[in-house]
């Protein structure tokens, strides 16, 4: 009877140890996922700023191009007359 009780306690200790190890592994994975999420969020914010800057440059250049095309068209009209 003592031996069976000892075996059962040993099994419970092993099971508890397995759960503790599993919890530690999961905590490490969670920590890594949190760090990765923060890194990707920072990268996303940086790329969003760069994208907005490039969009503004594109709009400005598009406006400049339109203005130059209009000037060329108007100068061509005056030369024809």
Under DSSP, the state recorded for 15 is H
Mean pLDDT, residues 34-63? 97
pLDDT at position 76: 74
At 61, list the tokens. 């250049």
At 41, list the tokens. 């969020």
Q: 37 — phi, psi (to 5°)?
A: -65, -45
Over the chain, what HEC string results?
A: CHHHHHHHHHHHHHHHHHHHHHHHHHHHHHHHHHHHHHHHHHHHHHHHHHHHHHHHHHHHHHHHHHHHHHHHHHHHHHHHC
Q: How confident is the model at residue 5 (pLDDT cuts 50, 70, 90)?
A: low
At 60, list the tokens. 């400005």
Q: Does pTM top 0.75 for this prediction? A: no
């Amino acid at each position: 009877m003592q031996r069976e009780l000892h075996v059962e306690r040993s099994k419970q200790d092993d099971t508890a140890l397995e759960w503790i190890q599993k919890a530690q592994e999961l905590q490490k994975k969670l920590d890594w996922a949190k760090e990765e999420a923060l890194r990707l969020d920072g990268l996303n914010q940086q790329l969003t700023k760069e994208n907005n800057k490039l969009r503004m440059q594109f709009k400005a250049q598009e406006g400049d191009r339109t203005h130059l095309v209009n000037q060329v068209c108007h100068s061509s009209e005056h030369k024809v007359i």
